[in-house]
Chain A
Amino acid sequence: MADATTDAVDALSAALEDRADATIEFDGLSLERDGDEYVLETPEIDPRRVDADDLPTALDAVAAYATNWRYWQESVGGEGTYRRAFLRWCERAPIAQDGAGAPTEDPLAVPERYAALRDGVDREWGQLSITARFVDVAEPDGERVYDLWHVDDAGTDLAELEVSDDPREAREIATYDEDGRYRPLKTAPTLPSGWAFTGLSGDELVEAVEFFYPATVANWHRELRGNLDVDHWRETAERQTGIYDILDELPREAVDWVAEACCVDSQCLRRREWEYEAGDDLEPPGGDGPFPCREPCSLVIAAARQWTVLESEDERTYELELTPSERNQLEELIEAVADGRTDEIREADVNDGANRYRARYLRAKRFDDDGALEIRERSASADSE
């Protein structure tokens, strides 16, 4: 019998001693103490009575169940925590749900998981790729480790990546995008690639994931259990004070525009669960992001403050001279900035209205000496007549 199995058997026996009901039920393993005898059952074997002396041999025959139990109960622990649920999700294990739906389609039973963990079980969490695998593939003792890298690096050789085993380095990686710009929104789909964490413990994996995508695991777990607490726009806006006190004055329809501007898949991996208020859904769909978003984030709040000020102004009518092509160009400029496309426009692509030279030409022609568009305000003069 392998040492790992011996250890697991010892741990199982000790655990049974401590339990009032003298029963362990876990991931298909059932072991019950009845005086000097044990009743052992797994999905592969019918219940059988085993003498105390024969228990190690009997358990050795179902060693995977024994070492699996030890990993989850002793190495991971934390029953009911999001940490444990997440690690179980990582290897497609069934997750006890407190009555909620199944997070893992086709959960794997222990023998299938043990087969899969030899090769590694791959999962995606936003732009993260996670592999759960055995520490010792040749002779698995149940202990798992986890590798973590960018989904874009799935086919990249490890030697070409910056490899780390310190979860805290995730903070540095998540701070800047590929172009070196600050990422104030951690769930923006702009995580840079080129790095890998290898051989992380379960705790370290969760720590790293939390640095990449803070609080996503905790809220995912709440959603699984059906107790995600959503704060809709109105509650969030009305709670604000200081310079954000004005937020509840943002018109209803403008909140749709806020969501369309900020809370779509192209801008954020979170799936918006908040609406204007309960029973009053916003027009834009919440998106297909993997993580539930339970209330407007601080970026949305800060941006919405600007829009609240903007929306408090009255509309006026302006008059300006533009050729039809110039009018089209204005639209193309706004589209290019809104879609973050300006960097992609080739320097000599003067067919594109947002081309830099085209924009500079428009400015040279239509801006006055103060750097402003030559515009007449029509409604103001109309009012005075």
Chain B
Amino acid sequence: MQALVVAAHGSHLNPDASDPTYAHADAVRETGAFDEVREAFWKEEPHFREVIRTLESDEVFVVPLFISEGYFTEQVIPRELRLDEWHPAKWDSDGTSASQVTLEATDVDKTVHYCGPVGTHDAMTDVIVQRAETVTEDPDVGEGFGLAVVGHGTERNENSAKAVEYHAERIRERDRFDEVKALFMDEEPEVDDVTDYFESDDIVVVPLFIADGYHTQEDIPEDMGLTEDYRLGWDVPADVDGHRIWYAGAVGTEGLMADVILERAADAGADLGDALEIVRANERAATGTDSSELESGTDTGAGAGAGAGD
């Protein structure tokens, strides 16, 4: 038997913070690839601390639903899962290349394949592009468009910016968009000045965040000048300084994220059967027939998001 644990931050304050986690876990559940699928959280229940014991499977694949390698993936999650043999060096990563490491959880007799975060997986590049397609309702979006991948950025963790730059570079190499930039909230180049960095009239802005919350639904839209007050909502696209800004909201809410979770588990040796094909087919069906997600840019429902280091 094999189990999948999707490990996410969650929130004590905002009930929506865990929505993407549940949605992607459900998408994986429906493939039947895993005997058990469990959501686990730092700030909700089941807590990281208890989740492994709720599984019957001997083989457990833990995929952190986090954007970058750093404090949570290197310290908090392995510690709370009681992976005593863990050390960040076992990932042998340059900051974006963690794949997996196999360990024993010490409170249960189980083998845990501890995977790198979803945010740094190569498949994440496709999700960012997909997000641009979703928000523009154009499966061929690219020509005449600039793409901004936006990260939090923080001086405390250089890996946070690395993940954003990594995907921006990979998309740039595809020559699909006229321009691709990595922008940040808390470091240069800043998303506040997004129009300064693009010549293209149309700019798709995709925040590399897991869940929509304070940053993606309040801070960033106001900082970019999409709206005076996030509670009033904003247009997609919105006119800013002669550019059209197509603001996409958190990339982590994109349905294709379930694909990245599966890819992470597969890289760690999980037997997926045809799960990847099922998830992609379901996703195609969902995006082909349901455009409700496109309204997310004007969804003003927001709450306190996960604070850094929290």
Q: Which A residues contact B (CB, under 8 angstroms)?
A: 78, 81-83, 168, 171, 175-176, 182, 184-187, 210, 214-215, 217-219, 222, 229, 239, 241-243, 294-295, 297-299, 302
State whether B75 touches A81 (Cβ < 8 A). Answer: no
Tell whether A214 pairs with B46 under 8 Å between CB atoms, given A83-B56, A171-B22: yes
Q: What is the 8 Å Cβ interface bit string for chain B, positions 47-77, against chain A (1 contact, 0 not)? A: 1011101101000000000000001000110
State whether A295 touches B13 (Cβ < 8 A). Answer: no
* Complex Cα–Cα for A222 and B51 (A): 14
State whether A215 touches B54 (Cβ < 8 A). Answer: yes
Total interface residues on B, CB under 8 Å, equals 27
The residue among B12, B45, B46, B79 with the most chain A CB atoms within 10 A of its own CB is B45
What's the nearest-Cβ distance from chain A to residue B27, in Å? 12
- Provide the residues of chain A in CB contact with B26, threshold 8 Å: 168
- Provide the residues of chain A in CB contact with B154, threshold 8 Å: none
* Complex Cα–Cα for A242 and B79 (A): 13
State whether B14 touches A182 (Cβ < 8 A). Answer: yes
The residue among A168, A210, A218 with the most chain B CB atoms within 10 A of its own CB is A218
- For the A-B complex with A222-B53, A243-B310 known, give 12 more contacts whose Cβ atoms are closer than 8 Å: A184-B12, A214-B50, A214-B54, A219-B50, A219-B53, A229-B107, A241-B71, A241-B76, A241-B79, A295-B49, A297-B45, A298-B43
Does B15 have its Cβ within 8 Å of any Cβ on chain A? yes
Q: List 29 A-B contacts (CB under 8 A).
A: A82-B54, A176-B15, A182-B15, A184-B11, A184-B12, A184-B44, A185-B45, A186-B45, A210-B54, A214-B45, A214-B46, A214-B50, A214-B54, A215-B46, A215-B47, A215-B50, A215-B53, A218-B53, A218-B54, A229-B107, A241-B76, A242-B71, A242-B309, A243-B309, A294-B50, A297-B47, A298-B44, A298-B47, A302-B43
Q: Who on chain A is nearest to B44 by CB?
A: A184
What's the nearest-Cβ distance from chain A to residue B11, in Å? 8
State whether B50 touches A242 (Cβ < 8 A). Answer: no
What's the nearest-Cβ distance from chain A to residue B214, in Å? 15
What's the nearest-Cβ distance from chain A to residue B258, in Å? 15
Q: Who on chain A is nearest to B26 by CB?
A: A168
State whether B12 touches A242 (Cβ < 8 A). Answer: no
- Provide the residues of chain A in CB contact with B107, threshold 8 Å: 229
Does B42 have its Cβ within 8 Å of any Cβ on chain A? yes
State whether B12 touches A299 (Cβ < 8 A). Answer: yes
What's the nearest-Cβ distance from chain A to residue B32, in Å? 13
* Complex Cα–Cα for A182 and B43 (A): 13
- Provide the residues of chain B in CB contact with A242, threshold 8 Å: 71, 75-76, 309-310
- Provide the residues of chain B in CB contact with A78, threshold 8 Å: 56
Tell whether A239 pairs with B79 under 8 Å between CB atoms, given A215-B45, A295-B49: yes
Q: Which B residues contact A (CB, under 8 angstroms)?
A: 11-15, 22, 26, 41-47, 49-51, 53-54, 56, 71, 75-76, 79, 107, 309-310
What's the nearest-Cβ distance from chain B to residue A222, in Å? 7
* Complex Cα–Cα for A106 and B75 (A): 47
- Provide the residues of chain B in CB contact with A168, threshold 8 Å: 22, 26
What's the nearest-Cβ distance from chain A to residue B178, in Å? 41
* Complex Cα–Cα for A160 and B12 (A): 32
- Provide the residues of chain A in CB contact with B22, threshold 8 Å: 168, 171
- Provide the residues of chain A in CB contact with B76, threshold 8 Å: 241-242
What's the nearest-Cβ distance from chain B to residue A363, in Å? 26
What's the nearest-Cβ distance from chain B to residue A370, in Å? 26
* Complex Cα–Cα for A186 and B75 (A): 26
What's the nearest-Cβ distance from chain A to residue B86, in Å? 14
- Provide the residues of chain A in CB contact with B44, threshold 8 Å: 184, 186, 298
State whether A81 touches B56 (Cβ < 8 A). Answer: yes
CB-based closest 4 A-B pairs:
A214-B46, A215-B50, A214-B45, A184-B12
Q: Who on chain A is nearest to B303 by CB?
A: A182
- Provide the residues of chain B in CB contact with A241, threshold 8 Å: 71, 75-76, 79
Tell whether A215 pairs with B51 under 8 Å between CB atoms, given A78-B56, A242-B71, A243-B309: yes
Tell whether A182 pairs with B54 under 8 Å between CB atoms, given A214-B46, A215-B46: no
What's the nearest-Cβ distance from chain B to residue A164, in Å? 15
State whether A298 touches B12 (Cβ < 8 A). Answer: yes
The residue among A171, A184, A219 with the most chain B CB atoms within 10 A of its own CB is A184
- Provide the residues of chain A in CB contact with B12, threshold 8 Å: 184, 298-299, 302
* Complex Cα–Cα for A80 and B146 (A): 57
* Complex Cα–Cα for A214 and B53 (A): 11
* Complex Cα–Cα for A78 and B54 (A): 13
Q: Who on chain B is nearest to A305 by CB?
A: B310
State whether A298 touches B13 (Cβ < 8 A). Answer: no
- Provide the residues of chain A in CB contact with B41, threshold 8 Å: 298
